[in-house]
Structure formats: structure tokens, C-alpha cells
Amino acid sequence: MKTYQPITEEIIHQLKTIVGANYVKTDKDLLVTYETDYETDPRLFHLPEAAVFPGSAEEIAAIVKLANTCHFPITVRSGGTSLADGAIPVCGGLVLLMERLDKIIELNEEGLYMTVEAGVRTVDLQRLAHASGLLYAGDPSSAESCLIGGNLATNAGGLKAVRYGVTRHQVYSLEVVTPLGEIVEVGATLKKCTTGYSLEQLIIGSEGTLGIITKVTVKLTPLPPHRFDVLAIYTDPKKALHMVPSLLKAGIDPTSVEYMDNSYVRGCADYCQYSDMPHYEDGVYVIITVETFREDDLDAKMETVCTVCENSGAVEVLEADDRVWNMRRNCQTSVERISKIFLTDDVVVPVHKIADTIEAIMEIGEKYPFEVKINAHIGDGNLHIVLCKMDMDDATWEKAVEEFHQQVYAYAYRAGGRLAGEHGIGAKKLRYMEQFTPQGELWLMKMIKYAFDPNYILNPGKLFII
């Protein structure tokens, strides 16, 4: 790991000159707020030396230039909703808070795009588009609290990725502060382009290591006026997992296909205080959303979806009401009720292999003393695994988690998958990135990082080991 210079009183003075004294914080009682994100293990927390709240790209550029001169690290923090330790300042230094960059600059209904600053909440962007009869299709589960800049940095997925793709598929262009402190615009509001490198796509998903995103122009689409949500309940998880190919072969283009194992059904129902959820004790839930522009098309597709579910072994097919979606969105939070420390993970495999992968992971998990919980975007091959520490001692927990991960990641790569589908690598998976990523691919990533950020100022200790 690289070493850095401490942030001195002189640096604090210069930071206050750049952004104003009110927007530079060094009080420890405040800084502890930023020592973690969604990480629950205090041994992985890291206290920053200072926190700064810039108000413009120009201020951020000046801060980055100062960091290069004085050689201190910068960790950019959006909503703090990372599940991969992505917002933890593992090398200390400065935490850059983006919440003041919260302006919605333009909504262009004719051009079907919106330009916003990086500190805009994802849900506010969604609501503004919706009010104009349009759709911003990015829809991470943390939309109520996450910021669009964080979605871009991690290439967030979410509940609508089956039909619309992930965050990178919703973007025309970015404004970025480079690791050397220059402000550049990459991309353009074009349907297609073959003019040089696709730099906006390179920066999206780079987890804050190649630049600080300050502004984005996102794509909008017309909002489908008709939709239905189906809850298919299975008592045999294998039947639930193997229904997706039948759904797609039937000509259904679903917006969402979400899976919750029975431990999540029970845990989320308890957390949300829904005492009468169907098949609470033995049910596996598959939630399917379909959107259309024609009402008659809606009826035909609903009939097809119900038939596919029944033929694949569903014991009940019901309307998925608001309670069901509230449960799905609270999967992560519900775990906090049963285990103070838990580990959240995600892997991604080809869609046609997700059923076998989930079955394999559950078989692997049976060998260990912790509880394994799975929810998944089974329509796009992305599954989330939660391991609950419960009352295990630290040594037993760490040994078991390491063995479990070695087996799960090896299986995922044999299946043609990767370490993360939407959470990213962050600090949590550094060692595994080095171990499982093909060496040529890893070498290219490191060369790109060095070319962009020769002093390793931006978000060090993330993505891969330097």
C-alpha cells in the first residue's frame, strides 16, 4: 500500500481558502460519521483526517491539485451506501462530500435527457422524470438515499436492469475532475459515436479511481403507462430458479425478475411487520414486473406470465402489492435485526447459469456454521449473498468466511462469471480481485490507473492493490 503525507494545519488553511471555513471539518465527533459506509465490522473502519464539502467542480479541481502537491489521498463519498467498503477512507486523508452539488440543470423533454450534478439523489431524478411522463431507468434499491454520482462510480444495477440495463446504459456524457485536477467533459448527447475512446464508459464503474464525476447527462425514455406486478410463490427453490428461461422464451420482456429465498421472506416480513404474508413458513418469492404501452398487450402478457409460473411449479400466483416490493427493498436492512455483524456480497454469472449457481452456493453454505441468505436479480444473473455472524467468535467466523468465499468465487469464475455484478470491488474484495482476475486484464487496469493518476491520489486502497 502506498504511503501518504498527513494533512497539516497549513493544508487545512488552504482547504478553507478554497471552499470556505464552514465547509472544512476536522472535529472527530463528526469525522466518525465517515469512517464507514454500510460496513458493519468496526475492525474495517478508518477515520479520515478531514472532511470537505465542495460546492463546484472548480473547487474540487483546486482540492485535487492541492492533494497532488501535498501528497494526501482523497476518498469521494456520495450517499455512503456502498456495500463493498467503497466509501471508507482506508488510507486516511481527506473525505470529499458531494452533497452540495445537488442542482438539476436541465430536463429536455424533446431530447429525452436530463443534466444534473453528481450530488442529486437518485430518487429525485426519478421523480422529476416521472412527473414529465418520462423514465430514468436506473433503479438501485438504495434510490431513496444514494446519489447519482455514486451510482455512476459503481455502475449500479438495480431492479430494472433486466430490461433497461445498468447505470452505464443510461448515460450520454459526464463532467469529470481528473486525478490531476483538470475539468473535462467526456461523451456527448448522441445516439451513436465512433470518435476515439469511450471515456465516459471507462470512468463509469471505476469506483472513483479515475476521476471525480461532478455532472452527468442521463438518458430518459417514455414512461410505459401500463404495468403489472406478479408474485409467484414456490415451495421448491429449484423450480423457482429454473422458471426464467421459460419466461423469456415465451416472449416476455420483463422489467424485473426478483428472487427472495425463504429466510428473506420471513426476515423481511418480520422487519416490515407484515404478519399475514402468504407462505411465510415455506415460500420462496419470485416478483415479476412487466410494462407495456398498450392495455390489450398488458392483458395478454399477464396471462402468459401466470401460465409460465403455474407450469413451472408455482403454488400460488398473486398480484405483487406494495408490501411485497417494500419487503424486497428492505432485504439489506432486515438483516440488521438478527445479526449485528454480517457480510454482504454479490457475484454475477451468465443468466442461464444462475439457477445452478444459487443451488451450488446453498450446498456450499450448508458446510458452515453461519446462516446464508440469498436474494437475486435472477433475470440478469446477479445474486446477493449475506452471511450472518450471529454469536460466532471472530476466529471461527473469519476462517469460515474465507473458505466459503474461495469456493463460491472459484465456482462463479468456472461458470463464466465475475466477482461483482453491481456492488463493485471497493476495499472488500482487493485480495480476491488479485487472485481471480485474469492477469492480462488486471495489468491493463493498473496501467490505466497509473496513466490517469500517477500519484495515486484518488480513492487509494480500492479496486486493486497498488
Give the percent of the chain with pLDDT over 70. Answer: 100
Q: Do residues 59 and 19 lie in contact, with contact meaning Cβ atoms separated by under 8 Å?
A: yes
Q: How many residues does the chain have?
A: 466
pLDDT of residue 242: 87
Identical fold for domains 104-222 and 225-337, yes or no, is no
Mean pLDDT across 406-415: 97
d(CA 454, CA 447): 10
Amino acid identity for residue 147 in this structure: L
Q: Where are the alpha helices (DSSP H) in 318-458?
A: 322-329, 331-335, 354-365, 394-414, 430-436, 439-452
d(CA 409, CA 357): 11
Mean pLDDT across 389-415: 93
Query: Which three cell numbers, joined as nine digits, stand for 53?
Result: 464539502
pLDDT band at 158 (very low <50, low <70, confident <90, very high): confident
pLDDT of residue 23: 98
Q: Is 319 exposed, middle or buried (0-12, 13-18, 19+ CB in 10 A)?
A: exposed
pLDDT digits (tens, 9 = 90+) for 270-318: 999 998 999 999 999 999 999 999 888 888 999 999 999 999 999 999 9
pLDDT band at 39 (very low <50, low <70, confident <90, very high): confident
Which range (10-14, 84-88, 237-241, 340-344) has the least confidence? Answer: 340-344
Cα dihedral sign for 370, 314, 326, 224? positive
| CA distance between the termini of the chain | 6
Parse the chain into domains and list their residue ranges. Answer: 104-222, 225-337, 338-421
The pLDDT of residue 191 is above 70: yes
Amino acid identity for residue 35 in this structure: E
Question: What CATH number was assigned to the domain covering residues 225-337?
Answer: 3.30.70.2190
Q: Do residues 388 and 335 lie in contact, with contact meaning Cβ atoms separated by under 8 Å?
A: yes
pLDDT of residue 180: 98
The pLDDT of residue 401 is above 70: yes
Say what angle helices 262-272 and 322-329 make with each other, to 10 degrees: 110
Q: Do residues 47 and 6 lie in contact, with contact meaning Cβ atoms separated by under 8 Å?
A: no
CA distances from 350 to 197, 355, 379, 415, 417 (A): 27, 10, 10, 7, 6
d(CA 134, CA 109): 8
Mean pLDDT across 84-107: 96
d(CA 151, CA 277): 32
User: Is 3.40.50.850 the CATH classification of the domain at 338-421?
Assistant: no
Class of domain 104-222 (CATH, top level): alpha beta
Mean pLDDT across 332-359: 89
CA distances from 421 to 217, 412, 451 (A): 23, 11, 26
Give the percent of the chain with pLDDT over 90. Answer: 82
Amino acid identity for residue 429 in this structure: K
What is the 3 state secondary structure string of 160-215?
CHHHHCCHHHHEEEEEEECCCCCEEEEECCCCCCCCCCCHHHHHCCCCCCCCEEEE
DSSP helix/strand/coil, 248: helix
Say what angle helices 9-19 and 57-70 make with each other, to 10 degrees: 160
Mean pLDDT across 151-170: 93
Q: Do residues 12 and 50 lie in contact, with contact meaning Cβ atoms separated by under 8 Å?
A: yes
Mean pLDDT across 14-38: 96
pLDDT digits (tens, 9 = 90+) for 285-295: 999 999 999 88
Q: Is 281 exposed, middle or buried (0-12, 13-18, 19+ CB in 10 A)?
A: exposed
Q: Do residues 98 and 78 lie in contact, with contact meaning Cβ atoms separated by under 8 Å?
A: yes
d(CA 50, CA 47): 9
Mean pLDDT across 135-157: 91
The vertex-380 CA angle with 378 and 385, nearest 5°, equals: 55
pLDDT of residue 1: 67
Amino acid identity for residue 408 in this structure: V
Whole-number average pLDDT of the chain: 94
The number of beta carbons lying within 10 Å of the beta carbon of residue 18 is 18
Q: Is 43 exposed, middle or buried (0-12, 13-18, 19+ CB in 10 A)?
A: exposed
